[in-house]
Amino acid sequence: MRRFFKKLLPPPKWRLPVLVLFGIFSGLAAYILYISNALSYLSDDPKTCVNCHIMTPQYVTWQHSAHREKATCNDCHVPHDTIFNKYFFKAKDGMRHATIFTLRAEPQVIKMHDPGKEVVQGNCKRCHGGLNENVSAINGTLETSKHGEGRLCWDCHREVPHGRVNSRSAVPNARVPLPQSPVPDWLKKHVEKQAESK
């Protein structure tokens, strides 16, 4: 084992440049973790979901709904069968979201994809199942709905909880806890002063 690591180590005369390079990489990676609020993605705080401001319509409609008091974003949108599955799904979904956001490929109206639908349907049942076990529609899954043999909860409960109007420009003046500007206060003040003196 030790020999394996030794092999990875660069020859002595290379040590310094490699150390510096490695430092640059780690620093850059740490900066990206910091600036992207990466640690917050481990939490269940709905604020995390407006790290990207394009989720504002979803956040604000949830915040005006009855689910606000009982269910966070994660309660519905990630699976809760096992903790491994929860974080696996979160990571998978998160990578997709991050990629699309970085490529600026987000659609004007954001809709759930099949894996997401399956998870949400499962979570509807997880909380509301007990009350609704005699309602035949509760047995619907993504599969049955695709084959026209059942429905998803929100096929009927269409306003729950985000409502039917959900384009990215649907909530022009929403007040949501968006992340603050990454520009430090002293710099902002400086810029303002500059603007004033013009």
Partner 1 sequence: MESLSNKIKRKPWLGWVMFFATMVVVFLLGLLASSIVERRAEATYAYKPKVELAEFEPRNQVWGEAYPREYDTYKQMADTSFRSFYNGSAMIDMLEVDPRLVVLWAGYGFSKDYNQSRGHIYAVKDIHETLRTGGPTGPGEGPMPSTCWTCKSPDVPRLMNEIGVAEFYKGKWADKGEEIVNPIGCADCHDPKTMDLRISRPALAEAFERQGKDINDATHQEMRSLVCAQCHVEYYFKGDGKYLTFPWDKGTSVEAMEEYYDEAKFKDWTHAISKAPMLKAQHPGYEIHQTGIHAQRGVSCADCHMPYKNEGGQKFTDHKIQSPLNNVANSCQVCHRESEDELKKNVYDRQAKVIEQRDQLEVNLVKAHIEAKVAWDKGATEEQMKDILQDIRHAQWRWDYAAASHGGSFHSPVEIMRVISSGMDKAQDARLKTARLLAALGFNEEIPYPDIATKAKAQEYVGLDMEKLTKEKEVFLNTLVPKWLEAAVERENSWDKN
> Rule CB under 8 A: which residues touch partner 1?
7, 10-11, 13-14, 21, 24-25, 28-29, 31-32, 35-36, 52-53, 56-57, 60-61, 63-66, 68-69, 101-102, 163, 165, 167, 169-183
* Closest distance to partner 1 from the beta carbon of 6 (Å): 11
Beta bridge partners, 167, equal 109
DSSP 133: T
CA distances from 131 to 113, 134, 142, 149, 150 (A): 27, 8, 21, 22, 19
Kindly tell me which of 106 and 118 has the beta carbon lying closer to partner 1.
106
* Closest distance to partner 1 from the beta carbon of 144 (Å): 25
Kindly tell me which of 60 and 78 has the beta carbon lying closer to partner 1.
60
* Closest distance to partner 1 from the beta carbon of 128 (Å): 12
Counting beta carbons within 10 angstroms of the beta carbon of residue 49, is it exposed (0 to 12), middle (13 to 18) or buried (19 or more)? buried
Kindly tell me which of 28 and 91 has the beta carbon lying closer to partner 1.
28
* Closest distance to partner 1 from the beta carbon of 142 (Å): 25
The Cα 168–Cα 48 span in angstroms is: 18
Kindly tell me which of 19 and 165 has the beta carbon lying closer to partner 1.
165
H helices of 38-110, in order, are 56-63, 73-77, 83-102
The Cα 114–Cα 152 span in angstroms is: 12
Kindly tell me which of 104 and 147 has the beta carbon lying closer to partner 1.
104
